[in-house]
A and B are shown apart, each in its own frame.
Chain A
Amino acid sequence: MKKNVNKGFFGEYGGAYVPEMLTAPLQELSDAFDKAMRSKEFKDEFRSMLKDFSGRPTPLILAANLTKKLGGAKIYLKNEGANHTGAHKITHCIGQALIAKRLGKDKLIAETGAGQHGVATATVAAKFGFKCKVFMGSTDMRRQRPNVFFMERLGAEVVPVDYGSKTLKDAVNEAMKYWMNNIEGCHYVLGSVLGPHPYPTMNREFQSIVGKEIKAELLKREGKGPDAIVACVGGGSNAIGAFAEFIPDEKVVLIGVEAGGTGRKKGFNASRSEFGKLGIFQGYKSLVIQDEDGQIAPTHSVAAGLDYPGLGPELADLYERKRLGLVSATDVEAIDAFSMLCKLEGIIPALESSHALAHAMRLAPKMRKDQLLVVNISGRGDKDIFNIARALKDEKFGDFLKEEITNY
């Protein structure tokens, strides 16, 4: 009996706190994942899809201009935005689709916040011949319309979720409910290292390729590993992907950057390290932003992929054990960092990734010139064109939109 109790736990965090009807399908998924991890055939197919479909390995770019400007550590950018569909999300989507295929499923469902995971799921569904349904908060649909458009072009049905905060957490609720009602034939492609076991472990395992590539590439070019790695943290999939390989090596400083939103007051950001407390939410136990009644509290971020109230359980454990530092960057800092990277390095980062950059810019000058700082650029910024144009008050873009609407 005790054997099951610790399954999927990272210290005190994680587990599978789900309605009983999900216990069997999660067990089935967990068994299929364990089996896949022992299968050479699975691993070969996974690696081949990453290389030939997604375009891995992604480049590790020396940010020479940024390094010079900041005058501290040598900065490398791991450009996950170079993946097919523009972010790291496709990696765990490919992994899960291959497992769904082995389970004989014919339909993929997913939640999405910024839309990157939804587009990635819709893409692998098209590639592998699955039907696809993506749940998305109606607020996020408004913020990320281009991704909605592309999901629909890829053949997915995008279902608006119109309750609660109408963002990522509500999309997770709705996807879980749909799964409960349609377990036969349906695989839920949960898009981060959160939710019930085995999702946090499974997605970390798939995403860990990011850190492995960073390590191999730096060894080749610098003859050593990184001194520090910085990544943004919503649920935490890109962060754990970049960190996993280095967790045992205590010399490597790992820093996650949460959404600082519009200020250090509850409700104005998504800083779980500051405002989260232990709770059970969406199938797992972790640090969750909630009120004193145990109700999930509102969050805010300019980045739709970061305004999630719960922290991936493995990251919560690493944070508690002080292996991981958690800091935050505000909306404004993220947009400033975005602008700087565009102009200095010729890279247009996603707003989520811009949070990691914002902190890297604070950190680099405090590091020695012989130290290596890696920033994980989890995605590219194409999807954010409307939000950034508005934030930067770009009048010409506004004129373009007005003109464009007259063409309809």
Chain B
Amino acid sequence: MKNAKQIEIMAHLVAGYPDTGASLRLAETFAASGANILEIQMPFSEPVADGPTIVEACHVALKNGFRSKEIFAFCHKVSKFGVPIVIMSYSNPIMSIGIDSFCRQAVAAGVSGLIVPDLPFDSKEGEELLACSKKYGLNLIQVVSPSMSGDRLKRSIACSQGMIYCTTKRGTTGGQTSISADLKKVIEAIRKQSDIKIALGFGISSRKDVEAVAGLADIAVVGSALLRAFSSGGGEDAAAKLLKSMKPPLDR
């Protein structure tokens, strides 16, 4: 188990929001403000696991012309900021590029991991994605939920690479954080079966939230809160300030 001093932060942004240039600058700002990993979301018209903040960001990015295949050039530029990159994408944009081609181009662009929230590991495409990610050396990060059965959790852990992404509650991104007994049980189960890093996401929006998950997880995922800080008039500075407030004081 990790204590507060060691927890890493995975900062999330939507590629192309509000436009390609601004999202690139935001990635650079996050890298300079203490983010240990950057989670870059591929814009999708139907982001069914996301709350209103990220839905809006996806739609703005698409309206401003972001194209799925641009994700690789975008990530390649972000990779220069010296922080590991994980892509989060729904299934359909990946399918449209082709699973094999997507994995190959992602790795070539300097991406280290991939999260696909609507693709079960035991679906045909989920298995194909796992095979391709292994072939090219991309970490396929599985998402687990406190409502999963023990057997399903075991199988998910067995095929997750790099880290495992655990949702702090049943719900969409951007809601309230709460650490339930169910969540603690899932984390204990993962620890028992594997030494894989555990990322906790959904609703982490303050230093207090980060401290709350620090004893449990290895990585705190911060998404909607940064986006809200950025979008509500404060821009990169406000997002950077929030990110710094979550991380550095814990290092003292």
Could you tell me which A residues sit within 8 Å of B by CB distance?
1, 4-5, 15-21, 23-25, 163-164, 169, 173, 176-177, 180-181, 183, 278-283, 288, 290, 292-296
Q: Decide: B175 and A181 in contact? CB cutoff 8 A.
A: yes
When distances are taken between beta carbons in the complex, the residues of chain A under 8 Å from B45 are 164, 295-296
Distance in angstroms between the alpha carbons of A19 and B170 in the assembled complex: 10
Residue of B nearest to A165 (CB): B45
Q: Decide: B117 and A164 in contact? CB cutoff 8 A.
A: no
Shortest beta-carbon distance from B136 to chain A in Å: 20
Q: Is the interface of B mostly helix, strand, loop or mixed?
A: loop
Q: Which of B129-186 contact A (CB under 8 A)?
A: 142-149, 152, 155-156, 167, 170-172, 175
Residue of A nearest to B43 (CB): A295
Distance in angstroms between the alpha carbons of A183 and B68 in the assembled complex: 32
Q: Decide: B152 and A23 in contact? CB cutoff 8 A.
A: yes
Contact of A5 among B93, B117, B123, B147 (CB under 8 A): B123
A19-B143, A279-B96 known; A295+B122 contact, CB < 8 A: no
- Offer 14 A-B interface pairs, CB within 8 angstroms, sorted by A: A5-B122, A19-B117, A21-B146, A23-B152, A163-B56, A164-B59, A180-B170, A180-B171, A183-B170, A281-B46, A288-B92, A294-B92, A294-B96, A295-B93
Q: Decide: A21 and B171 in contact? CB cutoff 8 A.
A: yes
Distance in angstroms between the alpha carbons of A4 and B79 in the assembled complex: 38
When distances are taken between beta carbons in the complex, the residues of chain B under 8 Å from A25 are 147
Q: Decide: B175 and A281 in contact? CB cutoff 8 A.
A: no
The interface-forming segment of B47-55, B232-240, B241-249 is B47-55
Distance in angstroms between the alpha carbons of A177 and B62 in the assembled complex: 21
Distance in angstroms between the alpha carbons of A19 and B96 in the assembled complex: 20
Q: Decide: A280 and B46 in contact? CB cutoff 8 A.
A: no
When distances are taken between beta carbons in the complex, the residues of chain A under 8 Å from B96 are 279, 290, 292-294
Distance in angstroms between the alpha carbons of A278 and B99 in the assembled complex: 14
For B, the interface residue count at a CB cutoff of 8 angstroms equals: 47
Q: Decide: A293 and B48 in contact? CB cutoff 8 A.
A: no
18 additional A-B pairs beyond A181-B171, A280-B125, A290-B96, beta carbons within 8 Å, are: A1-B155, A5-B124, A5-B127, A17-B120, A19-B117, A20-B148, A20-B156, A20-B167, A21-B147, A21-B170, A23-B148, A163-B56, A164-B59, A180-B172, A278-B95, A294-B96, A294-B97, A296-B45
Contact of B48 among A1, A163, A173, A181 (CB under 8 A): A173
Instruction: Pick the most buried of B68, B142, B144: most chain A CB atoms within 10 A of its CB.
Output: B68
Asked if B118 is an interface residue, CB under 8 A from chain A, the answer is yes
Q: Decide: B119 and A294 in contact? CB cutoff 8 A.
A: no
When distances are taken between beta carbons in the complex, the residues of chain B under 8 Å from A18 are 118, 120
Distance in angstroms between the alpha carbons of A295 and B70 in the assembled complex: 14
Residue of B nearest to A15 (CB): B123
Shortest beta-carbon distance from B227 to chain A in Å: 15
Residue of B nearest to A19 (CB): B49
Distance in angstroms between the alpha carbons of A296 and B148 in the assembled complex: 30
Distance in angstroms between the alpha carbons of A18 and B196 in the assembled complex: 24
Shortest beta-carbon distance from A7 to chain B in Å: 10
Q: Decide: B95 and A280 in contact? CB cutoff 8 A.
A: yes
Shortest beta-carbon distance from B53 to chain A in Å: 11
* 0/1 interface trace, chain B 51-84, chain A, CB 8 Å (1 if under): 1100110010010000111000000000000000
Q: Which of B7-66 contact A (CB under 8 A)?
A: 44-46, 48-49, 51-52, 55-56, 59, 62
Residue of A nearest to B152 (CB): A23
Distance in angstroms between the alpha carbons of A25 and B171 in the assembled complex: 13
Q: Decide: A295 and B119 in contact? CB cutoff 8 A.
A: no
Q: Decide: B147 and A24 in contact? CB cutoff 8 A.
A: yes
Shortest beta-carbon distance from B205 to chain A in Å: 16
Q: Decide: A183 and B147 in contact? CB cutoff 8 A.
A: yes
Q: Decide: B92 and A279 in contact? CB cutoff 8 A.
A: yes
When distances are taken between beta carbons in the complex, the residues of chain B under 8 Å from A173 are 46, 48
